[in-house]
Amino acid sequence: MFSWNSRRYWDLWPYELPLHHFPGQPELTQEPPLERQQRPLVHFLQPNELPPAENDDIYQVFNFMNRCYLLAGIFMVITVFQWLLFTLLVKQKGLFVLPGFICLLLAFTALMMLTFCLQLRSNRWFGCIFAWLFVETVALSVILLLPVRSIQNISVALVAALIVLAVCYFQGAWLPMFILPGVIVLVVVLIVFAALAGVVLILFILTDQSVYRVVYFGLILFVTLPMSLFHAQVIHGRRYRLPKEAFLSCAVIIYMHFSLFFMAFYYLIWVHKW
């Protein structure tokens, strides 16, 4: 009567109750051993690893950026060497107005060709020829139009221009986008600069006062700052994705910003020497 029988309790209260409302687990198909060995393994990304497509994009942007800065650095080194060599060889003080003005017109023509001739710019030899033409004519026009050519004046203005150029391109590459100037801001700045620069040049020609010259180069410094910030965003792929053949034009624009900074700082620092 009081005997213990485990089978009796097992039948009345089983350990696993049946679940009538949920389907059972489907049977998995057995894979042959040969196919299991030949099946490719799934690649799991590490926490700091990016997909292959994104890695390719980052590599292309980095390669484009290195080409731009390397070529622009070569342009700057050659230009500074020519400026110092011309300063040591030519002892005559004063302006070479006519040769400097001719070189400036040639530089502007080469820049327009590089900017608007898209079909010709796709040719590598065409781009290289007009890029070197722009660099050489800008270097000659700047050194010919300097009122006082000395190692001290050129060195101080050169250091100031390089520091401001490096700061602008560093900020354009790392600052948040909502702080940096966009296309609308750049267009407004260029329109205001064109209007004010025209008025200042007319007043300088009519009155021949040095204060208008200082205002003019101050405007050049003012407009070059947002241009450098915007161009840094383009080079680092933050605004637009340019083709890899456009690194030559971008290097020329960096060199142009360097030349504008140099001219602005030279005339603003050594204004008392005129």
231-249: pLDDT as tens digits: 999 898 888 777 777 888 8
In a domain, 163, yes or no: yes
- Give the contacts of 137 (CB within 8 A, at least 6 positions apart): 103, 104, 106, 107, 110
In a domain, 42, yes or no: no
pLDDT band at 51 (very low <50, low <70, confident <90, very high): low
In a domain, 50, yes or no: no
In a domain, 15, yes or no: no
In a domain, 35, yes or no: no
7-18: pLDDT as tens digits: 444 444 454 444
In a domain, 46, yes or no: no
In a domain, 32, yes or no: no
Quick one: 164 exposed, middle or buried, by C-beta within 10 A (0-12, 13-18, 19+)?
Answer: buried
In a domain, 200, yes or no: yes
Decide which of 106 and 44 is more confident: 106
Residue 147 belongs to what domain range? 63-273
Quick one: 73 exposed, middle or buried, by C-beta within 10 A (0-12, 13-18, 19+)?
Answer: middle
Residue 61 has pLDDT above 80, yes or no: no
Please provide the average confidence, as pLDDT, over all residues in the chain. 79
- Reference 232, options 16, 50, 107, 65; nearest CA is 65
SS (H, E, C) 115-178: HHCHHHHCCHHHHHHHHHHHHHHHHHHHHHCCCCCCHHHHHHHHHHHHHHHHHHHHHHHHCCCC
In this prediction, residue 237 carries a pLDDT of 83
- Report how many domains make up the chain: 1
Distance CA 183, CA 82 (A): 35
